[in-house]
A = this chain, B = another copy of it.
Amino acid sequence: MAFTFQINHDVNFDHNEKLLKKTEDNRTKLHHTTVEPVDLVDIIADHSAMNGFKAVSNKNKIESLADYSLGKNGKLVLDFGDHQVGRFSINIDSVGSPMDSPLFLHLTFAETPAEIGIDANSYEGWLSSAWISEEFIHLDVLPTRLELPRRYAFRYVEIEVKDSSPKWLASFSKPIVTTESAVSLQDVPKVEIKDPELKKIDEISIKTLHDCMQEVFEDGPKRDRRLWLGDLRLQALANYKTFNNQKLVKRCLYLFGSMPTTDGKISANIFTNSNPIPDDTFMYDYSLFFISVLKDYFDNFRDTEVLNDLYPVAKKEMDLALEEVDSQGKLQPNEKWPVFVDWSNNFDKQTAGQAILIYVLKQFVELAKVQANEDAAKYQRLIEKYSNFAQKQLFDKTKGFFVSGSKQEINIASQVWMVLAHVLTDEQNKQLMTNGIKRFFPVTGIATPYMYHHIAEALFESDHQKEGIQLIKNYWGKMIQLGADTFWEAFKPEDLHFSPYGSPIINSYCHAWSCTPTYLIRKYLINE
């Protein structure tokens, strides 16, 4: 995920060594497979294609790759047939006279055709251009096997000879990717999904999750390659229904739980490339979701060791969150600890934040009942107080919607989160979403699968199964129609060229928070 940059240099973090040790104890061994490309393709401009480009098989045969030698400015594009996460290697030789200069190569790794079609030099977006998956390499000696040390996420690899010399060409053979994931697709239980469209959506959700499950649950293997709490919550839910890998969730819980700020606040994300480092970015709802992830984990595994270790961290987090609520029971958002809800900052988030607080409080009380019954009653009273405030002060009975902020704004996020928090009765929830469908559908202005997930889940939770299925098909199904091998970080069905970053080449096209249809399908539609 991405967000307005926060910089908080004055924050200090705890490092609970006992808990940090458990993050190490719960490292998973990565699975590796070897994948070869299946085709040679051309990347063609096409305005009707996602981001304006498509890949088209060309007349060259992948079996004869070594025959298509390249000189200065020569290019070819390998198609690995599906989304891959791993290390790339290839044999390179010279053809012709002896190699009288270095070989200068440019390699571009692309999840989608547009990342090759669009010139990387044109990128002027606000996210670091260092994320563009390209390498410039000089090789002094051929033949060689080029083994790139970095991990890439890609389906296509463009190989461009920036220069050889007039006396020889470069020839390529035996390209492979050695894939990496904490899990194996074979581990997913087979379930019968009769609807072929949903079946395909389920498969691609699982592939998306698979490719994001690395040494931690990453948000995206292309970018940002790190552990975000909001993504983790959804990934863990999808994981329980599919790979059901316990250790990786446990490790991630300990990572967040071992390094809150000295005040007890949990970072929105952790960098885990080397020694884990909590980011100086804080989001109110993401901090709270630590409790959600712990609750969902405990529901699945009844792991009392983890609960014993992390309940005090969860309680501290909850207490910090409660400080943002006024005496009436109303959340008063603090710009230093903003409520995320969605990328868009074009809607008021106060009521959605209130709902998320209630949603998490309810989960916390369940944990308290297991762990410290004396807490349960106290926090239960707060649920009632905040719910009561919401029902009385935030719900406009005349209009049939929750309103948000001083301008009494009616937006989809407030309704969705109030449904998920079950602040109203089931009947009222159903009516609320009936009203919501009339007012907000087809949804526009929302670019994240993260928000779409919560809309879909609210439909299922409010007895709108048909509309929930339709939303999944309209959103995730549309990505598949547009060629998705894995689900994307950002997608606006009404704007195929949308990027939150000013250029689609920096987008992540395998992104954790889009993996949830498998969870929704397997939770709400499959009788296991």
Contacts and interface: CB of A to CB of B under 8 A. Distances in A.
Contact of A279 (B5, B100, B277): B100
A343 to B, nearest CB: 16
A279 B97 contact: yes
Given A5-B167, A138-B135, A140-B150, A100 B271 contact: yes
Nearest to A271: B98
Interface stretch (A48-56, A125-133, A199-207): A125-133
A280 B97 contact: yes
Interface string A476-494: 0000000000000000000
A277 B128 contact: no
A82 interface: no
Contact of A101 (B97, B104, B128, B135): B128
B167 A138 contact: no
Given A130-B164, A163-B130, A99 B271 contact: yes
A87 interface: no
Interface string A321-363: 0000000000000000000000000000000000000000000
Nearest to A278: B98
A274 interface: yes
What does DSSP make chain A's interface, helix, strand, loop or mixed?
A: loop
Given A103-B130, A130-B103, A96 B162 contact: no
Given A138-B150, A141-B274, A9 B96 contact: yes
Interface string A115-143: 00000000000111111000110101100
Interface in A52-68: none
A277 B102 CA distance: 15
A101 B125 CA distance: 14
A166 interface: yes
Given A97-B9, A97-B280, A162 B273 contact: no
Interface in A217-255: 223-224, 226
Nearest to A161: B130
A219 to B, nearest CB: 12
Contacts of A101: 127-128, 130-131, 223-224
Nearest to A223: B101
A163 B279 contact: no
Contacts of A104: 128-130
Sorted nearest first, the 4 A-B pairs with minimum C-beta distance are A101-B128, A104-B130, A136-B136, A128-B165
Given A138-B150, A141-B274, 9 more contacts: A9-B96, A9-B97, A97-B280, A98-B277, A101-B128, A128-B163, A130-B162, A130-B165, A135-B138
